[in-house]
Amino acid sequence: MDERDDAAIVARCLEGDRDAYEEIVKRYQRTLFNVALRVLGNYEDAKDATQTALVKAYEHLDGFDRDQRFFNWIYRILKNECLNVLRARRPSGPVSLDLPAVGGADPVELGQRQRAVQVALQTLSLDYREVVVLRHFTDLSYDEIAATLGIPVKTVKSRLYTARQQLSHQLSVWRVAR
């Protein structure tokens, strides 16, 4: 993602070139959608959150600081939308990880393991979950994650380590099966 291109596109949008924003949408929709999907764990919710975030970003483009990365700015918008979705959800009990320990690499087993990983992600707190998601489902570096979340790099690493420890514990059955 070329940051200079982002700034140029934003400038064109602010000058009234509405169609220019479509380039931004196409550039970031995949990343934003996957982040939302892994944070929320639901396809429809991820779609709505992503769409709303992209629209709100356009409506508030004049508040974007062109000195910072566009993704950092729009990620905060998406995160707020995800929080809104999570708050709107009915409270549920802990996710059951009583999953069968099966061996082999057949599609059924793979699907089950993928669902287990997604469920394990949902058991993490949002602070830990977003660090894992940004680290493993985007190409952001620790520095970039720190900049995006507005926290020190050391905190990013600490949260990532703890999150992985929890995931490792949650997925221990599957690790053996592998």
Partner 1 sequence: MTKSTEPWRDGIPDEVTEMLRDLPEVDPPPALADNVMSTIVCRARIETMSPTLMTKGRTMAKKVLWSVAAAAAVALVVMRVFGYPPVQDGTEATIGAAQRYQAPQISSADVKLEDAQLQAFLQSDVFRQLASDKVAQEALKNNDFRRALADASVRVALSSPDVVAAIAATAATAGAPQALEANNARLDAAKVKLDAVLASSEALRVALASPLVAQAIANSALRVALVNSDAAFALSQQVAVNAVLAAATANLNATAVSSQATAGGATNAAGSAVR
Give residues in contact with partner 1 (CB under 8 A): 18-19, 21-22, 25-26, 29-30, 33-34, 37-38, 43, 47, 50-51, 54-55, 58-59, 110, 113-114, 117-118, 132, 136-137, 139-142, 144, 157, 160-161, 164, 167-168, 171, 174-175, 178
Nearer to partner 1 among residue 54 and residue 85 (C-beta): 54
Nearer to partner 1 among residue 7 and residue 20 (C-beta): 20
Q: What is the largest CA-CA distance in the chain?
A: 58
Beta-carbon neighbour count of residue 39 at 10 Å? 27
For tokens 């959608």, what's the residue?
33
Query: How near is the Cβ of 165 to partner 1 at its closest, in Å?
Result: 9
Query: How near is the Cβ of 10 to partner 1 at its closest, in Å?
Result: 14
Query: How near is the Cβ of 91 to partner 1 at its closest, in Å?
Result: 25
DSSP 50-102: HHHHHHHHHHTGGG--TTS-HHHHHHHHHHHHHHHHHHHSPP--PPP------
Beta-carbon neighbour count of residue 155 at 10 Å? 15
Provide the sign of the torsion angle of the four alpha carbons 148, 149, 152, 156, taken in this order: negative
Nearer to partner 1 among residue 8 and residue 147 (C-beta): 147
Nearer to partner 1 among residue 56 and residue 66 (C-beta): 56
Nearer to partner 1 among residue 74 and residue 79 (C-beta): 74
For tokens 């949408």, what's the residue?
25
Query: How near is the Cβ of 83 to partner 1 at its closest, in Å?
Result: 20
